[in-house]
Each structure stands twice: as C-alpha cells, then as structure tokens.
Structure 1
C-alpha cells in the first residue's frame, strides 16, 4: 500500500511539473531585437524561441525545419514586418492558416512616421529600431500581443512594458548628448546598406548606404565609385562596416577614398547575449541587448567621426 501511495505521489509530482512547464506562453520571435522586447516585457511568463541569432541577415533568412516546428507549437509568433523578413513571409502565412497567432509588430507604427523604401514600391524602410521613439510603438505592440495571448498576466506585461519604454527613452537622450559632440558638418554616416535612415532622421545624420535598404543585391562598381568620390569631396574621416553584412564593399571604398574604417556597427541583428564592450565613458554595454547595442553603435559612430 505504501509503495502504491509513493508511486501515485511521484506521478502527480511529475504531472504538476509538466503542466507548469507548459503553462508558460510559448512565443517565437523572428529577430534578436524583437526577442529582447519579449524578454523585457514577457519576463518569466514566456518561453521564448528566437529564429535568428547574432550576425544573421533577416533580409536573406529562410526558415529551417526546426523553425517551422517551433512556430507550429507556438502560442504567439512575433516578427518585424515591413518586408524585413521577406523570405519568411510564406512561412508566416502558412502557420497563421494553421491557427497560430502571427503579428507583424513594427506595422503598428503610424504610416506617416515611416520612411519610404527605395527597394520596394509602396513599401517602407523596415529598420525602425534605430529610432527609439518608433521602437516604443513596437514595445507597445508586443505588450498588447502578449496580453491578448495571456490575459492573466496582462498587468505584469503592462508594468514591464512601461519600465522598458522609459529605459529606451533614456537611451535616446543619452545618444543625443553624445552626438552633440560631433560637429554638424561631420554628421555623415556611410555604411554597407541603408539600415540607418531612421537613426539619421532622429539624430541629424546624413546617411549613405551603398547597397540600399535590402542586402539581397550587391553594390555595383558605379555605386562604389560614386560613394568613394562623395567621401573624398566631403572629407569624411571614417566609414563603417556592419555585423550582418560582408565588409568587402566598405573595405574597397575605404581603400579607394582614403577614409579609415571607424568600426563595426550592429545593423540587422544584435550581438551575442553577454558580449560586453566598454564605452568611452567607462560604461559596459551588453550588445546582446537593444539598449547595449544602441549605446555601442552611438559610441562607435561618434568616436569614428571625431578622432
């Protein structure tokens, strides 16, 4: 009798553990930027799967078999939208038809605040995370999506979302203060592709991306020559490579123009979580987080242009 009671005790304990394990909201995020919002807003109530890791180019990413299984099992799938994950569109559509909830969180931003895309007619530039004011809309969209999927924790999501948005607002003010040290005539940002137009609009930079908004096509010789001539004419001291784009084009332009490479910027993906960098003021940045990535980028740009 005693052994039977013990067996039933073990059974119910195991059942409790399994049930609690599945009680978490299963969320799939396409990019590391969106995943960072989910971690900050969702907290321990969320079981998160991220499709794209550090250095992955979302413009070119295709779903793996494991990705499809994760999405089929998910309660909620969050992606940027605005054509950022162009090769995943069909996959998102299919899992949505299977009953999964799929949300393009960046498409919550009012259209009048979006920039036009040079690559796609009647489309918008998808790199909205480089304007913290726009990113706040995305944070709200993630919060609302989580709350609809898990109403019991809606208040927790709202509280964390409010805190996170204040932190994003604070990093924007910090960035403006750092950028104010760069003379206005030197605020020209040359990179591999047009990932930084929202950043330029928000902080007063002229942005030159050799490949355009998408990385699906490579820069031609005419683009390289035109950019090198522009750099020499404007006497731009530094240009920048990107973490998710081949550095070959920028290295060629650096050689042709005489401008040094001022460093590597994070563009379409965050860095590895826990990867720390020390800023010019001695602060440590975890570039695997949105806030750390943003500070690292600003420090790299400012240091490159004023040294």
Structure 2
C-alpha cells in the first residue's frame, strides 16, 4: 500500500490492524456520529467526570479567574471543546469580570464546532468566538506566532487518553509553543474507588459500547470495508494499581474483512483484541511530577466536592 496516497485515518487503520497487537487510535472516535454518541456518554449518571468538572467550573470559575494574571487582551484556546456546556460556565464568569478575550475552540468535527458556536452565541451574546476545525497541533502552531497571551483549556480528562510518554511529549509541545506566563487549565481524573471508575467506562446502557463500535462503522463507511459489526464485542478493564482503564474491541470468531480503499484484507483470530483507548487516572504526586517534567509549575488544583476530579492550573 502506498500510504502517501491515503489520509491519516486510512494509514493508522492499516498500521493498527496489521500490527501484532492490534490497535485503533481513540482520536478517531470523534467523527460526527462519534461526537453525538459521546454527548450521550457525558449525560449518563455513571459517567462522573462530566458532572464533576461541571461542578468545578460552575462553582470555582471566580477562583480560577483570580489566578489568571493577564492584563492585556488574551485568547482562551480550548482543545477538544465538545458541546461546550462546561466551558460556558467559565466563559460566563470571565465575561462578567470584564475580561477581554477571544474564545478559540478547536475540534476535528466541523459539525460539533458549528453547533458549539450557535449554542455559545445564544447563551453568551457578547462572546467573541472563533472556532477552528482541525488537529490540535496544526492549529496550535498557527496561534503560537501571534504573541497574544493564551489560557489553554484541555478539559474532560483528555490527557488521560495518552500513555505517559505521549502525554509528556504533548505537554512539552504545548510548553514549547507557549509564551512565558501563558497558562494551561487541564482536567485530570483522579484515582478513586475502582468500582466507580469501572462502571463509568462499562455502562449498563451500552452507550460506551456503541461509542467503540462506531470505529468499525467508520472503517466500513470511509474505507469501503465489509466488517460484520455484530461479530465484535466491547470490553474494558481498570487496574487500580497503575490507574489505567483500557478499552478493547473483541473478535467473537475467526474472521476477516476487506477494505477496498486500502486494498487489504485484515484477519482476526477468535477472541483477538483491538485496543481502542487508554483512560489514565492520576494521583496528585503524578500530577506534580508530570507538570515539572513538562516545564510547568502547578498553580492550583481545583476539585469537585467528592475529590473525584481536578481542573489543575499550570503556568509556564
């Protein structure tokens, strides 16, 4: 296969499903359909991160504002903004305080960005919002050259989707493109009762399963494949010793499927796994160590009342 002829999704699917240990990147969850399913996940009572972070940003945005030391006009740049329901709480307080800023949400889904802009303008009439559709890194590179101070938002615990080496690499890249004094407010899920975490990622409604299965539907649609969706299942596991939730698709039989776009047939053994996602849960010691190694200083950890989750504020 001449991979240069194909997009990143096609290349990564080919690489991941021909590897000895099969894998698909969780960043591909969020096509338009995946974004819709994830909005359902965020509304589940079992999925505590959304409610916890909503509580933090609803009740502590004043305290966050007080720790932001920008005098001139600045940007609030959000990576993976989703529906913006949590961020709206923060932006509302900042507007009430007279802060002069431009809100720049970044998402790979154009549909999600269009809906976000419409909803934000309805709720916050005076908001200067300039959505960007694309990859985090591409947009970050464009913004870094402007010289305008930035408060970066990386909410929802998304950093937990990266293995430590990749998380550190991402945070170092953020740091490299930030000016002295720029700040990062990042959602990080905390280690807690393992049952609470397990239920959040293997819900009884089957919504998380549908979220993972959508990867297979996307391969069928975009890569002209003939996957039998009902011949795969979903499984996840939480290890409280290292704080990692790992999610998988499971082949229910020995099977194969063909992609016309990739001109490749992919083979599976019965019970073979496709790793789809890591969701890391952090201790405060790990947060401090990660910040320091990436070149940041922890300013404050803002937490919900149960201490399930933190929005941690770092400064370069």
TM-score (structure 2 length as normaliser): 0.29
Query: Over alpha carbons, which structure has the higher Rg?
Result: 1
Greater relative contact order: 1 or 2 (C-alpha under 8 angstroms, separation 6 or more)?
2
The structure carrying a bigger strand percent of its residues is 2
